[in-house]
């Protein structure tokens, strides 16, 4: 059979003028002005046993910080937020508030229009960061040392809490910059103006934290040595592996890992120099798929299709995020599973998909195929934990469902080693959940390292 798509791939940089790029990558949720924040704060009922607070993985006292904003005290509101979630600024930008605190807001239930908690949180935390001051003070030095592997949300959260409690912390990270997912994995239009690094700098002002980048576990540092040289170790390793499509032609040029592509985009100083196809297909149903599709469109791709193997209601990406994609010109298609990536020479020219349906609760293939033209195909079908560096060096860490097994306080099977974030079995691929993991582990590490375990943070 002859190739159904006999043409040359069209991938180029500079598809859009600088002004259009600036608009496409502008802030998804512009900050509230002071008057807007006061008006929005007035909408809060300040519920007793507030459901929004229960829905927040870090248990921020939402009614209290909104009342503080209402009283004209955004700095006090920020301290309330940051005492529970030191990465509250980024979480205000990237948290799926529509499925967490705002979903259970009484205003949402009664009127279909929740208090805009995320934007109020950003209003407060931005005000604090603009002061240039850090809201917390370190406790007296304990003389204890903690090694943290991974400078993502879990590691940074643990580091700040431990430093605040008086311990000396060293963070090791394999990449050139700290920040983890916040620096390399979040869509550029959600964290503008180098916010991830500015937040890291803000966090480090607590003191007592040293960051060493370009240091990979199993290559430059080793778990057995960390356990020997430090009083405790926390692993916030994230997910380094990428799931394969398992489709014919997957290795063709123009077939990309969406996670790596987003990381490259985030580190590109001049977006006009980043090539993108005229026709782009993204495979997946989560936030990474949405972020890749929206950003491909913002770079100037004329046709962007997001294809997911199940129905819309099964997507991990929220309905709000799906709407963001749709309103920005992404074509969402459902019940399509990749079968074969079509190539001309060694370069993608399209993808053959097979239609699916649900039978007796199971996904089945129908035999009917659809071909979509594409110059680029991005795979966003999930990531996996890579255990390199954690095992094979003496006693190994127990795994569960392919990730690190931990207990309720994030202790691993190895004495003196804790873990949190996406690398643990309970990981949920959310910044806010990783922050909570780091906080829980830090408090248990503190208890283990101190005689009474009750040194209070100032």
What pLDDT, on the 0 to 100 scale, is given for residue 451?
65
Q: What is the pLDDT of residue 395?
A: 59
Question: Which pLDDT belongs to residue 387?
Answer: 84
Task: Give the span between the Cα atoms of 320 and 333, in whole angstroms.
Answer: 16
Structure tokens at 321: 């995020």
- Picking from 290, 284, 307, the residue whose alpha carbon sits closest to that of residue 355 is 307
Give the whole-angstrom CA distance, residue 31 versus residue 425.
35
Q: In the prediction, which pLDDT does 8 show?
A: 67
The reported pLDDT for the residue numbered 120 is 98
Task: Report pLDDT for 388.
Answer: 77
Whole-model pTM: value is: 0.94
Rounded to whole angstroms, how far apart are CA atoms 397 and 385?
Answer: 13
Cα angle: 322, vertex 328, 331; to 5 degrees: 65
Please name each of the domains of the chain with its CATH number: 11-26+242-382 (3.50.50.60), 34-131 (1.10.1060.10), 145-240+385-449 (3.50.50.60)
- Residue 224 CA, chain-centre distance (Å), reads 29
Q: Residue 88's Cα: distance from chain center in Å?
A: 13
Distance of CA 158 to the CA centre of its chain: 17
DSSP secondary structure string for all residues of 120-131? HHHHHHHHHHHH
Give me the torsion for CA of 141, 236, 104, 72, rounded to 10°. 40
Residue 451 — φ and ψ, nearest 5°?
A: -55, -50
Q: In which element (H, E) is residue 339 found?
A: strand 336-344
Tens digit of each residue's pLDDT, the chain (458 residues): 344 555 567 999 999 999 999 999 999 989 999 999 999 999 999 998 999 999 999 999 999 999 999 999 999 999 999 999 999 999 999 999 999 999 999 999 899 999 999 999 999 999 999 999 999 999 999 999 999 999 999 999 999 999 999 999 999 999 999 999 999 999 999 999 999 999 999 999 999 999 999 999 999 999 999 999 999 999 999 998 888 888 888 888 889 999 999 999 999 999 999 999 999 999 999 999 999 999 999 999 999 999 999 999 999 999 999 999 999 999 999 999 999 999 988 899 999 999 999 999 999 999 999 999 999 999 999 999 988 777 655 457 999 999 999 999 999 999 999 999 999 998 888 999 999 999 999 999 999 999 644 444 43
In angstroms, the CA 66 to CA 159 distance is: 27
Residue 38 to residue 458: CA distance in whole angstroms: 29
């Amino acid at each position: 059979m002859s190739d159904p798509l006999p043409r040359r791939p069209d991938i180029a940089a500079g598809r859009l003028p600088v002004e259009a790029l600036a608009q496409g990558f502008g802030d998804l949720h512009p900050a509230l002005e002071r008057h807007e924040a006061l008006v929005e704060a007035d909408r809060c009922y300040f519920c007793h046993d507030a459901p929004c607070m229960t829905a927040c993985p870090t248990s921020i006292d939402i009614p209290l910080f909104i009342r503080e904003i209402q009283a004209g005290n955004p700095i006090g509101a920020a301290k309330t937020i940051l005492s529970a979630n030191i990465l509250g600024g980024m979480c205000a930008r990237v948290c799926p508030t529509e499925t967490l605190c705002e979903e259970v807001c009484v205003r949402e239930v009664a009127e279909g229009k929740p208090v805009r908690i995320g934007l109020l949180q950003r209003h407060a935390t931005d005000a604090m960061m603009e002061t240039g001051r850090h809201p917390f003070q370190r406790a007296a030095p304990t003389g204890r040392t903690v090694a943290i592997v991974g400078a993502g949300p879990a590691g940074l959260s643990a580091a700040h809490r431990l430093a605040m409690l008086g311990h000396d912390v060293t963070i090791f990270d394999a990449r050139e910059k700290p920040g983890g997912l916040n620096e390399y994995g979040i869509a550029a239009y959600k964290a503008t103006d180098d916010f991830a690094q500015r937040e890291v700098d803000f966090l480090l002002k607590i003191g007592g934290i040293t960051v060493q980048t370009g240091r990979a576990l199993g290559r430059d540092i080793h778990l057995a040595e960390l356990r020997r040289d430090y009083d405790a170790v926390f692993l916030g390793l994230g997910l380094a592996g990428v799931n394969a499509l398992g489709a014919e032609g997957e290795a063709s040029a123009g077939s990309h890992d969406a996670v790596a592509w987003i990381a490259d985009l985030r580190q590109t100083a001049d977006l006009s120099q980043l090539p993108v196809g005229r026709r782009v297909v993204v495979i997946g149903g989560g936030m990474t798929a949405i972020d890749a599709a929206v950003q491909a469109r913002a770079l100037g791709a004329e046709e962007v299709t997001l294809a997911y193997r199940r129905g819309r209601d099964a997507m991990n990406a929220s309905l709000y995020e799906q709407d963001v994609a749709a309103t920005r010109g992404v074509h969402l298609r459902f019940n399509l599973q990749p079968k074969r990536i079509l190539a001309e020479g060694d370069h993608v020219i399209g993808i053959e998909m097979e239609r699916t349906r649900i039978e007796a609760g199971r996904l089945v293939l129908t035999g009917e195929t659809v071909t979509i033209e594409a110059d680029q195909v991005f795979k966003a079908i999930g990531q996996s934990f890579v255990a390199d560096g954690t095992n094979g060096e003496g006693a190994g860490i127990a795994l569960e469902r392919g990730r690190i097994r931990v207990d309720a306080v994030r202790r691993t099977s190895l004495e003196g080693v804790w873990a949190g974030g996406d690398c643990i079995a309970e990981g949920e691929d959310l910044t806010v959940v990783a922050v909570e993991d780091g906080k829980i582990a830090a408090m248990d590490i503190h208890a283990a390292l101190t005689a009474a375990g009750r040194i209070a943070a100032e």
